[in-house]
Structure formats: C-alpha cells, structure tokens
Structure 1
Amino acid sequence: MKDAQAAFYDSLPLLRDFTRLVDPARFSAVPGDWALGVADIVDSTGEIAKGRYKTVNMVGAAVISAMINALHGKEFPYVFGGDGAGFAVPASEIDTAKAVLADLRRWAEEEFSISLRAALVPVAEIRKAGKDLRVARYAPSDGVDYAMFSGGGLAWAEAQMKAGTFTVPPAKPGAQPDLTGLSCRWSNSKARNGQIVSVVVQPTANATESDFADLARSVLSASEGLERSGHPVPEDGPPISWPPPDVGLDARVSRAGNNLLLQRIKLLGQNFLIALLFVSGKRLGNFEPAHYKRMVSRNADYRKFDDGLKMTLDCDAATLAQIRMMLEQARGQGKIRYGLHAQDEAMMTCIVPSATRDDHVHFVDGASGGYAQAAATMYA
C-alpha cells in the first residue's frame, strides 16, 4: 500500500504548460499532518560579495540532494531558491527531515564556513497563522517534474525561520549528509539575446490571488515572446570544458569526509573521460552524450512559483523594459515587491541520480548573484 506521501503527491496531475500555473485552482492543499522544511544561508549577499556564489548555490541545492537521498527515491515536493531551498514531507518522514537538516547545518559550517539556517514547520501551524501551503507539479519533460508552491505558507515559514522559531539545531561535529549525485560540472551558459536576468516577484498583503495571477500571466506572456520563452540554456545543452570549472567545489561536496586532494584528482580523471565522450559524441553503453545534453536543457528549472514568481531569463532589452514596466506599475499599486538582477551568464547546479536515465535535475540561476541579488534588491 502506498504511504500518505505517495497517496497525495503522486496523485497530483503533471502540468506541461507552465503558464497554466498562474491559475490558483491548479494547486492542491498539502495535508495538515505534513511539515515544511526550509533552509537558507545567513548573509548570502556577503558570501556573494566574496565571490562565493557558486558555493552558495551548491549549499542551497545540497538541501534538496540530501533529502532525495534520505527518502530513497520517494517523490516529494521541493523548490530551489538560489541561496536555500524548501520542501514538504508527510508525518512519517518528519524525523528524517529533521536529521537531514541538522546534518546539513553542521556540514555547511565545517566544510565551507557557511552558516545555514534551517527550520521544520508543521503545516498545521502555517494554517493557524492564516496562511496556506498548496502545491502543483510542473513537468518540463518526460524525465522530471518540479513542485510549485502557493498560499503564502512557504514565505511565512521562511520568515519564522529567520526569526528563530521552529529551528532545527545543528548535528554533532563530523556530520555528513548523503549528497550523492550533486555536482556542478558544466560551464556557464552565456546570454545569447541580451542579458541573463534574474527576476523575483512576491505579492504583498494588498494583492489578492487574482491580482497576482493577472500580473504573473502578463509577465509570462511577455517572456513567452523571447526565443524559447527566455530559456537561458542552449537547446543542445550547456558548454562543457576540461578541466571543469569549480572542480575544487565539487570535490568538497562529494568527498564525504575523505581526503580533498585525492577526491579532486579522482574528479579530474572522471571529467576528462566525460569530456572526451561529449567531444566525440560516441555512445558508451546506455549513455548517449547528445541525448543527455538535450535533456539537461529540457529538464532545467529556470521558472518557478514559490509564493511568488522566479525566473532566470535570457532576455533582450525591449522585453526586459516591458517586464520592468509591468512590475513597476504593480509595485506602485502596492500589489507586489520585486527585484531584478542582470548578468552575462547563467549557471547550473545539478542532481544526477544516473547519467543513463532522463530524471536528472538541473537548477538554473544567474552566475553573478542571481536570485539572491535580486531578492536583496527587493528587500532593500
């Protein structure tokens, strides 16, 4: 018999058209005995100023990677936020989620000297506060789907975490979350049509769901006019080079307490063989390089709803001006807060359970601040 997790989340329809997610009716209420996990990096803007944005992204994505591995393939809703992440789990997995978050907090501090906040918030408490937690599933390809959140519960939980409530304390020294599959081996994708623009939009208390849906529909309509709807990753996949960028970061993430130099050498060897396969285009067993690169692009998570709208767009100047005008008008009406951050490249952080399947996950963000910088502008 399927557990409560599968019974709820597996039953949700897979939406293929992202624009349909502007309709609140597409979202379903998360069961009341579930909990919402949230985590983010303290002073992520300060870390970015030190040139550590890729590290910020990796630590944020580690939250999702560790939960995927801890749940052993069970489907659950999650969302990547650039400098953090959120996810929901049923009552049967709350203890697992608490242990994972505790391990991540200790690991981030010991491995990267990064302070990671984490909290586990009962959905029932979210509803007591007058908010809700609703979720939908968007499938950009047949290989993966991503959760979208609405109802205000995720934003409320993040605010509670920053206020120090529902906190998950760090684990004991030496804790090592299972981050198998988490990597960052692709080179950045350069803007082809102007700039890579990170967009963060959140409704205010003055906006009804209908107000925000109308605005989101207009903004998405503008972005749909861009090449491939503004998708920042080339259709045939991102560029690859050797030695790979940030191999030292990959080594830190994957070494699991082992010798850092040896892990770096191991990854350099692995990536040399991988680069040869991509350059030659030759199939190796069930691995077909050209197909894999196309699926990387198709699977990329460059647009999302998480109590607001976030997008990483390859955007021309005219479309950016159009989107900015819409956002400014809504902001002037007191309906939203928003932030924009433009850069020259997009980057990806990846979770690859198996290179021979199509269920690999790729989180896209701007390469020089992205969502975190856009959000900092908004809150300023």
Structure 2
Amino acid sequence: MTTDSFYTSLPKVRSFDSLSAPEAFVPLPPDWHLCCTDIVNSTALIAAGRYKTVNMIGAAVIAAMRNALQGEAFPYIFGGDGAAFAVPPRHRETAQHVLASLRSWTGAEFGVPLRAAMVPLRWIRAEGLDVTIARYAVSDHADFAMFSGGGLAWAESQMKAGAFEVPPDPQAAPPDLSGLSCRWSNTPARNGIILSVVVQPAPGADPRAFARFSSRLLALASELKDNGHPVPATGPKLGFPPAGLALEAQSSRGKTPLILRKLYLLAHSALAGLIFLAKRRAGGFDPEHYLSVLKAHSDFRKFDDGLKMTLDCTADIRDRIRRHLGRAAEAGLVQFGLHEQDAALVTCIVPSPVEDSHVHFVDGAAGGYTQAAANLAAAFGAGKGQA
C-alpha cells in the first residue's frame, strides 16, 4: 500500500474482542500527521448542564473533516469533549484549514474555546511512542478507527500545553457540518446505571499484560445484555420539540438566520417523528431499518490509547468492574476513571437517511468520558491509581 492509500487499504477487523491484541494494530506511515482537539474547561460546561453541546462540538470535528474529504475514509475517534484524526501529507492543508475554521466557529457560535493541534508522526516517534491503527468494521457499510501506541495521549498532552497549535482563522467560512445531528432524547439506563469507563495502561506497563487485562474486562462487560450496549433495539426516543434542535440549528445554519433554520428543522423533525411513530416506509426511508443500523453503528466501546466504554450496567457488574480495575491499578498495570449517570446520549453523523453509512457517537449524558477522564487525572495526581 502507498502512504495515501494506507487507511483505505487497511484490512477491516470484525471482532471487537480481537482488538485487545497488539498485533491487531498497524503503525501509521511516518509522513502522516495526527490532529487532535479538546474543549477548554469542559468540566465547567458539564457542571452547567451543557454536555450535549460538548458532544456536539466533539462530533463536529469529525463531521467537518468527513465533508472536507468528500467521504474519503480516514482514521478518526470521538472522545466526548473532543476528537482526533490522522491524515496523509496530501490532506495536511485541508486538515489545518478545517481545524482553524472550527476553532473560530465554536467560539463565535457557542462561546466555547476549542484547542487544536497537528503533530507530525516523526515527533511522536522521536519520543519513543507510536500511533498504531486498527479499522473495526461494525457492518459492511461503516467502521471506526481504533488507536494504540501511546502517541495520541502524548499529542493531546502537548496540545494542552500549547504545542503544535493550529491557530483559529476568524476570516474562514463556517465549517461544512452537513449530516451532523443530535435530535434524539437521552436514553435512560435499562439496568440502572450508565457507566463511563476510561482505562489506560500505566507508564511502562507490558502491552501483553494490558491486552490480557482488557480481554478480561471485555468478558465482564459481555455478561451484560448486548455487551452493555446502551442503545436499545428500538433506538433512542425522539421527543418533540427535539432536545438538540437548537444545537443542530446552530451547527447547520451557515449564514442562514438562526430562527429560520430552527423553523425548518422543527418542521422536518415533526415529519420524521410521524414516520418513526407510524413505523412505515416513506419513499426510500425505512424507520425500523434505520434504528437497527443506528444501534449497530454506535461506538459505545473503543480502543483509544487504552479502553473506553459506555455501558448500560447493573450494580453487580459495576462493582466487579471496579474491583477488577482496582486490582490492576494496585499491580501498577493500569490507571482508570469511572463515572456514573442515569442516561446515555447519542450524537449522529447522517450523510443520507436512506443509506447505511451513518455513524453514531455514544457517551454518558452527565459527564461521560470527560468526567471519567477527570476522575482518572485526579486519582493519578493524588497517586492513587484509581477513581
């Protein structure tokens, strides 16, 4: 494979459990760039009840790049309060433009400051780290990138320190966020708890030992129905007016007055709600098929320089997961953070409602990955190794 065709030529992995093995991952080519974003002080936004806004901005990074690359496959990962992706040399300027535009747009549209950085792979490897990739296929029509090697975590820490910054561009046009949507209501926990799990290998941990640990953690989660998938087969509920309509209007309005965009989306949502309620085809759209694909194409678990999961969890499995993590932390193998809430939220990228290429990002509805990571950081800073 060539540098430019690296990701499109990468074999797709069908078993999520197999991703715990290091050999499932392939190093990015040396001339690629790793891009990452992060909302400044997202914990304050969470405390103010704006986590849907946080997730929307995180997903906007992915939507903007997907549209800029006109649907060409590239590795990306959603992190709750940000996102990361990698590009070959020929897309470096496009990525830089998208990130600069996004930074200006989030500040102007939402009053939310966004960090962004672009890091050459050679800098990461000079630190003795790597960025390795796997391509996990959730169906024949959609897949998600998984990241390993420690390089992404290092790049994010450098970004927060101000290195490799992509400056905002106040003169840039708003990013193209076509397909980005967050109209679904929060999905209540069916087992009592939506558990956000963030696990990272401790510094110097043996990758094989971490792989064995991850396999055992996934086995615990597999005791839950659907491996703990928080989205039911019937999909999330669509309230009226939709919970995220104002956010979607802000994200998709371009230069259209906000009130006109809201009225359009309100009418569109009313029609969509009637179709979902009737459970009958409308033209080429099959609502029941769409909801089944929505569940299949939801990223409720991922490898992101560690393991992240959003689980619909019982109290018993929660306690067993916590004990398993605690033992591994005491052994110096992992660092982890947990966060509990009573619902999950879904943010969507839907290029076309009649095609099966749509993907959906799942997080806890009250802090999710961001709060779990904050708990990890607080525990690590206190020298406890757990949260």
Q: Which range moves more in the overlay, 307-316 or 327-336?
A: 327-336
Moved over 6 A (4+): none
The correspondence of residues 1-380 of structure 1 with structure 2, limited to 5 A, is 4-5=3-4, 7-173=5-171, 175-380=173-378
Over residues 134-165 of structure 1, what are the superposed CA-to-partner deviations in whole Å (9 max), with x where a residue is unaligned? Answer: 00011122221000000011001001101111
Task: Report the secondary structure of 2:338's partner residue.
Answer: strand
* Partners of 2:340 and 2:59 in 1: CA distance: 22
Amino acid at match of 2:3: A
Paired-residue identity, %: 54
Structure 1 residue 174, shift from structure 2 partner: 5.9
Q: 1:242 to 1:3 in 2, by over 3 A?
A: farther
Amino acid at match of 1:279: L
Q: Does the 8 Å CA contact 1:238/1:297 hold for their aligned counterparts?
A: no
Structure 1 residue 241, shift from structure 2 partner: 1.9
* Partners of 1:166 and 1:134 in 2: CA distance: 20
**Structure 1 equivalent of residue 385 of structure 2:** none
Q: Does the 8 Å CA contact 1:237/1:295 hold for their aligned counterparts?
A: no
Unmatched segments (≥5 aa) in structure 2: 379-387
Q: Does the 8 Å CA contact 1:340/1:377 hold for their aligned counterparts?
A: yes
Structure 1 residue 236, shift from structure 2 partner: 2.4
Q: Does the 8 Å CA contact 1:182/1:352 hold for their aligned counterparts?
A: yes
* Partners of 2:202 and 2:83 in 1: CA distance: 21
Tell me the TM-score normalised to structure 2 length.
0.96
* Partners of 1:22 and 1:321 in 2: CA distance: 22
Amino acid at match of 2:17: T
Structure 1 residue 285, shift from structure 2 partner: 1.6
The alignment of Structure 1 onto Structure 2 pairs a total of residues equal to 378
Structure 1 residue 257, shift from structure 2 partner: 2.8
* Partners of 1:96 and 1:174 in 2: CA distance: 12
* Partners of 2:269 and 2:13 in 1: CA distance: 35
Task: Report the secondary structure of 2:23's partner residue.
Answer: helix
Structure 1 residue 173, shift from structure 2 partner: 4.4
Structure 1 residue 282, shift from structure 2 partner: 1.8
* Partners of 1:372 and 1:175 in 2: CA distance: 29
* Partners of 1:82 and 1:175 in 2: CA distance: 25
Q: Does the 8 Å CA contact 1:144/1:299 hold for their aligned counterparts?
A: yes
Task: Report the secondary structure of 2:9's partner residue.
Answer: coil
Tell me the TM-score normalised to structure 1 length.
0.98
Task: Report the secondary structure of 1:301's partner residue.
Answer: coil
Structure 1 residue 95, shift from structure 2 partner: 0.5
* Partners of 2:285 and 2:56 in 1: CA distance: 25
Q: Does the 8 Å CA contact 1:106/1:175 hold for their aligned counterparts?
A: no
Task: Report the secondary structure of 1:271's partner residue.
Answer: helix
Structure 1 residue 124, shift from structure 2 partner: 1.1
Over residues 163-197 of structure 1, what are the superposed CA-to-partner deviations in whole Å (9 max), with x where a residue is unaligned? Answer: 11110000124630110000101111111112110
* Partners of 1:325 and 1:210 in 2: CA distance: 21
Over residues 226-279 of structure 1, what are the superposed CA-to-partner deviations in whole Å (9 max), with x where a residue is unaligned? Answer: 000000000122112221112111111111132111111110000000001111
* Partners of 1:103 and 1:3 in 2: CA distance: 29
* Partners of 1:292 and 1:223 in 2: CA distance: 26
* Partners of 2:364 and 2:164 in 1: CA distance: 31
Q: Which range moves more in the overlay, 296-305 or 9-18?
A: 9-18
* Partners of 1:229 and 1:198 in 2: CA distance: 14
Q: Does the 8 Å CA contact 2:184/2:244 hold for their aligned counterparts?
A: no
